[in-house]
Copies of this chain bind each other. A is one copy, B any other.
Amino acid sequence: MSGVRSKGDQAETAADTGGDRRLRADAKRSIDALMQAAREVFASSGVDATVREIAERAGVGMGTLYRHFPQRADLITAVLHSEMDACSDAAATLAAKHPPFEALAAWMQRYADLVGTKRGLAKALNSGDPVFEGLLTRFEERLRPAVRPLFAAAIVAGEIEPDTDADEILCAVSSLCMSAYDAKPEHARRMVALFIDGLRRPVKGSSSH
Identify 4 residue pairs between A and B in the complex whose beta-carbon atoms are under 8 Å apart, listed by A's number: A123-B127, A123-B128, A126-B126, A127-B127
| Bound-state Cα–Cα, A127 to B127, Å | 6
Which residues, 109 to 140 on A, are CB-close (under 8 Å) to B? 123, 126-128
The interface residues of chain A, by DSSP majority, are classed as: loop
Question: How close is A129's CB to chain B, nearest CB, in angstroms?
Answer: 10
Looking at the assembled complex, report how far the CB atom of A196 sits from the nearest CB atom of chain B, in whole angstroms: 29
Q: Which of A123, A126, A127, A128 has the most CB of B within 10 A?
A: A128
Chain B residue nearest to A129 in the complex (CB): B123
Which B residues touch A123, using CB under 8 A? 127-128
Residue of B nearest to A46 (CB): B128
When distances are taken between beta carbons in the complex, the residues of chain B under 8 Å from A126 are 126
Report Cα–Cα, A126/B124, bound state, in Å: 10
* Residues from chain B with Cβ under 8 Å of A127 in the complex: 123, 127
A81 to B126, CA, bound (A): 24
